[in-house]
Structure 1
Amino acid sequence: MKELKRVGPLQAAKQFIFAHYPNCQGALLAGSVIRGEATHTSDLDLVIFDESLTSSFRESLIEFGWAIEVFAHNLTSYQAFFKSDFERARPSLPRMISEGIILVDNGIVQSIKKEAKQLLEKGPEKWTKETIELKRYFISDALDDLIGSSNKSEALFIANTLAYITHEFVLRTNGHWIGDSKWIVRSLNHYNESFSKEFVEAFDTFYKTRNKDKVIQLVDKVLEPYGGRLFEGFSLWKKRLNE
């Protein structure tokens, strides 16, 4: 028996909305399929606005030949997610809404897309000097752990941590949104493609050969404008007796 060919992403998204949310006030199709980055494992990311919902929720289903991720909101719940995404500097929902293709709009989606776009253009909250010092210390500590590690298994996970906190430091100190998983590289590319290539090459070299030199050079280069590695003199939560 022949397997039925699945319909296109836009058609599947519209069929899903019609079947499950026929009375919604707004709906968008977002994610890799609308950015031209879809792979054979890509799903459909659907953002729904329905005033009848008492709260937001996320749901995963398989219908019309597609894995479908639903991000459902009423007409105000999305604002709490905007706030949370702003505070963590990872604008998942604003990005989906800003780039999404409108499937349904009963007069509310354009204004929400405008909110999302304004938040993305604003960028994350600026780090304080104290936060920069704290992050600088943690990066220095992880780098020292990597340099001193002779355990290959442990070094892999030290490098993972170092890659994440270094990408975070670079992007936040330059006023850019950070990423997670595949969005780490995407966020670095958005900031500076040349640096992103250098970043990937340094860690790729370590993972393939266990040679740490390029990672060490990269991290030192990142920290240098802020005073380099930090250990001596750093303190956290220290209180004096006369305070």
Structure 2
Amino acid sequence: MSSDPDDLIRAVDRARRLAAESFPDALSVVLAGSTAAGRTTTTSDLDIAVLIEEGGETRRETLRFEGRLVELFVHTRSGLDELFAADTASRRGVMQRMYAEGLVLSERDGAATCIQRQAEAALREGPGALAPATVESQRYALTDALDDLADASDVVERLAVAGVVLNTAADLLFDHCRAWTGGGKWLPRRLLQADPRHGGALLDGYRRLCENGEPEDLADAAAEILTLAGGPLREGYARTWRAATAEPRPGPHS
């Protein structure tokens, strides 16, 4: 995390220059991500959401501006509605969080402010509950992974199984808390926001396993979360296989 407030000032000024040069007619420009949250470093990229007029192209673009990597999220209002819907379905709320927590660099007729209110309301509401069949599938998967974790003697296999335990337990905890999920660096952040006690224990157990190879704390933390979700599931679990053809859906978050 940056300890120099000048880093933030320089990053915001750079984002303003980019917006003025590349999107002078934008309805709104919002700076999001670590920079807007005050966690910018000299290597942080700039996440910028740009609202444009209808008829434009909704897209995601990566570029470099004045030596800094920039992630552009460009969208029309209808395109943003589709992104909001997709992010709600994925339970991550990416664009909602960008607007709700972002810094407005420019706007016309209160465009960004209106979207921010919508995004804040969506984040407060949280994602819907997982389907019962999905919860059962996750319970079964975590039960199986915990069995594998107890049996794993190979170091690499144990680490691989631990990753499955972490992610599956996290999914169940997010659903139990009706909380937004996250991937990568956002997984631990979201876990601690959703449930500091259970999320923190899960992360501490995972860290100890990675550092010392000791699986007990991770297994105990995951087992507690499994209990919250309905308990272990082995005998009696069944599912019907339904073949489905899914076409790739390109877009800003693909």
Q: Which amino acid aligns with 1:236?
A: R
User: By how many angstroms is 1:53 displaced?
Assistant: 5.1
Larger Rg belongs to: 1
Identity of aligned residues (%): 26
2:14 maps to 12
Q: For the aligned residues, what is the CA RMSD?
A: 1.9
Equivalent residue in structure 2 for 1:167, among 166, 170, 176: 170
- Report Cα offsets for 1:87-142 as digits up to 9, x if no partner: 11001111001111111111221211121111111100112333222210111111
1: CA distance, partners of 2:145 / 2:105: 46
1: CA distance, partners of 2:162 / 2:198: 18
1:152 maps to 155
Q: Which amino acid aligns with 1:137?
A: Y
2: CA distance, partners of 1:36 / 1:183: 16
2: CA distance, partners of 1:37 / 1:193: 21
Q: Cα 1:225–1:40, aligned 2, differ >3 Å: closer, same or farther?
A: same
Equivalent residue in structure 2 for 1:55, among 54, 57, 68: 57
Deviating beyond 4 angstroms after TM superposition, the runs of 4 or more aligned structure 1 residues are none
- Report Cα offsets for 1:22-62 as digits up to 9, x if no partner: 11111101110111222332111100011165321111111
2:223 maps to 220
1:40 maps to 42
2: CA distance, partners of 1:116 / 1:106: 18
1: CA distance, partners of 2:232 / 2:38: 41
Contact 1:139 1:162 in 2 (8 A): yes
2: CA distance, partners of 1:40 / 1:194: 33
Contiguous gaps of at least 5 residues in structure 2 = 1-5, 243-254
1: CA distance, partners of 2:35 / 2:102: 10
Aligned length: 235
Query: Quick check: 21-30 or 144-153, which moved more?
Result: 144-153
TM-score, normalised with respect to structure 2: 0.87
Contiguous gaps of at least 5 residues in structure 1 = none
User: By how many angstroms is 1:238 displaced?
Assistant: 7.2
Say whether residues 1:179 and 2:191 are aligned partners. no
Q: Cα 1:144–1:109, aligned 2, differ >3 Å: closer, same or farther?
A: same
